[in-house]
Amino acid sequence: MDENLEEKKVFKEMEEGMRKGVEATKQQLSNLRTNRPSPHILENVKVEYYGSLVPLKQLASISNPGPRLLVIQPWDISAIKEIKKAILKANLGFSPESDKKLIRITVPQLDAERREEIIKLAHQISEQGRISIRAARREANERLENLEKEKKIGEDDRIKGKERVQEITDRYIEEINRALKKKEEEIREV
3-31+112-188 belongs to CATH 1.10.132.20 = yes
pLDDT (tens digit per residue) in 90-125: 877 788 999 888 999 988 777 888 889 889 999 999
Asked if the domains 3-31+112-188 and 40-106 are classified in one and the same CATH topology, the answer is no
pLDDT (tens digit per residue) in 22-54: 999 998 898 787 767 778 888 878 999 998 999
pTM: 0.73
- Give the residue extent of every domain in the chain: 3-31+112-188, 40-106
Measured in degrees and rounded to the nearest 5, phi and psi for residue 72 equal -115, 125
- CATH architecture assigned to 40-106: 2-Layer Sandwich (3.30)
